Amino acid sequence: GRINSIQFENVSIAKVRALAFSNLAGIEKIEFKNCDIKSIEPQSFKKFILDAFIINGGYVDILPSYSLIGITIQKGLKFENVHFGYMRSSAFRIDGPTIFKIQNCIIENLDSEAFRVNTHGPVFIEDNILPQVSHGAFAGITLDSTYLSWSGRQDLIFENNTLKQFEDYALLFNNTGLSPKLDRIVLDKLCACDDIKLWTDRLVKYTDGSRPIDLTRLMWCTKDDRKNIDSVVQDFQRRHCAHSAARVYWIVSVLIVTLIVLIGLCSLGFYLFRRHARRYMNVPTNDNAQNRLSVHSTHSNHVIIIPEGKTYRETELHVIEERVEPIKEYVPPQAVTQPI
C-alpha cells in the first residue's frame, strides 16, 4: 500500500529519534495536532518531499539544531497554537513552501536564525508571544531567488507579536526579496522615556541597513503594569516625555548663560587690574645692568640722587626729601688728667 499522510492527534510522544522521519516517498502531509513532544533529536525529519507540514496545538519542549533538515515543502509550512520551550539556531532548514505561517504560538526562547526557510511565497508571523528573542531570530527567512525573478517580491507580515526580553536587532528581517510589513509590536515592558530611543534604534533592522520610518507608531508598551494597560509609544512619548526634553534644554541654556557671564566677569576683572597697574608705574631709575635709565627696576625701593645734595626716595605717590649729611671721622674723646 501507499501512505499519503501521517497524522498524530492528542498523543504524548516521549522522544522522536534521529532519522525517525527520513527518506519518505509519496507523503503529502505530516501533521501533529494537540500533541505533547518532550524530546526531538537532531535530524529527526530529514530528506523528503511533501506538500504540507503542520503542527497545530500542543507542546514541544526543545527543538535542537537541524531538527528538520533537507526537507522540501511544496505548499504550506504552518505552526499554529503551539507552545515551544526552546527553539535553537537552524532548527528548521526547509525549502520551497508557498506559504509560511507562525500564528498564535508561544516560543519561550528563540535563538538566532532559528528558521532557515527559503520560501516561494508570503510569510505570516502573527499574534505570537516571544518572551526571549536573540539577535536576528527571523533573519534566516528568505525568498528563493528564482521565484523572485518571475513572481516579484513577497510580503512578510509581522503583526501583533509580544516581546519581553530581546537582544539588539532581534527583529532583523531579510528584505532582499521580502517586503516586511510591521504593525503592533507589543513590548512587555513598562513605558519609560529613557528606553524609547533604545527600542526604536536597536530593535528592528533590515539586512540592507535600513529601518522602518517612525517605529513609535508601531510599538506598544505597558503604561500601567497593575492594570495591564498598553499605550502606543508615540502617544506616551508625546504626553510624558516632552517635559523631560524641555527640562534638559532649559538646564543646558542656564549653563551656557552662566558660563558666558563668568567669562565676562573674568575679562572685566583682568581689564581693571591692568588699568590700575599702569597708574602706579615705577619711577625711572638708573639700571646698572643696562647702563641706562629704565622704567622697570628689579629693586623694591628706588632712590634718586640729584644735584644740590638732595636725595629723593619714591614711596608710592609721595616723594620724601632727605638731607645728605657728610660723614665725619669719628674721634674718640681724650682722657682728661686731673691734677693731684
Q: Residue 309 pLDDT more than 80?
A: no
Backbone angles phi, psi at 305, to 5 degrees: -110, 125
Q: In angstroms, rounded to a whole number, what is the distance separating the alpha carbons of residues 340 and 338?
A: 6
Q: Find all residues with CB under 8 Å of 302, minimum gap 6, and list them.
A: 282, 283, 285, 313, 314
Q: What is the pLDDT of residues 130-175, one digit of tens each?
A: 999 999 999 999 999 999 999 999 999 999 999 999 999 999 999 9
CB distance 124 to 102 below 8 Å? yes
The pLDDT of residue 290 is 45
State residue 149's pLDDT score. Answer: 94
- 329 by DSSP, 3-state: which? coil
pLDDT band at 303 (very low <50, low <70, confident <90, very high): low
DSSP string, 167-229: -TTSEEE--SSEEEEEEEEEEEEE--HHHHHHHHHHSEEETTS---S-GGGTEEEEEETTTTE
CA distances from 309 to 33, 150, 324 (A): 129, 120, 6
Per-residue model confidence (pLDDT) at position 273: 73
CA distances from 1 to 22, 23, 26, 158, 275 (A): 18, 17, 11, 43, 114
Beta bridge partners, 70, equal none
CA distances from 125 to 12, 88, 104, 177, 247 (A): 27, 18, 9, 17, 41
As to burial, measured by CB atoms within 10 angstroms (0-12 exposed, 13-18 middle, 19+ buried), residue 186 is middle
Task: Read off the pLDDT of residues 189-232 as tens digits, 9 standing for 90 and up.
Answer: 998 988 998 999 999 999 998 988 888 899 999 877 665 667 78
pLDDT of 91 higher than 60 = yes
Copy the grid coordinates of residue 111.
535563538
Rounded to whole angstroms, the Cα distance separating 311 from 303 reads 7
Measured CA to CA, the distance from residue 79 to residue 100 in angstroms comes to 9
What's the mean pLDDT when you consider all of the chain?
Answer: 84
Structural domains in the chain, CATH included, are: 5-183 (3.80.10.10)
- CB contact at 8 A, 220 and 178: no
Task: Assess whether pLDDT exceeds 50 at residue 96.
Answer: yes
Asked which of 13-27, 75-89, 247-261, 308-322 is least confident by mean pLDDT, the reply is 308-322
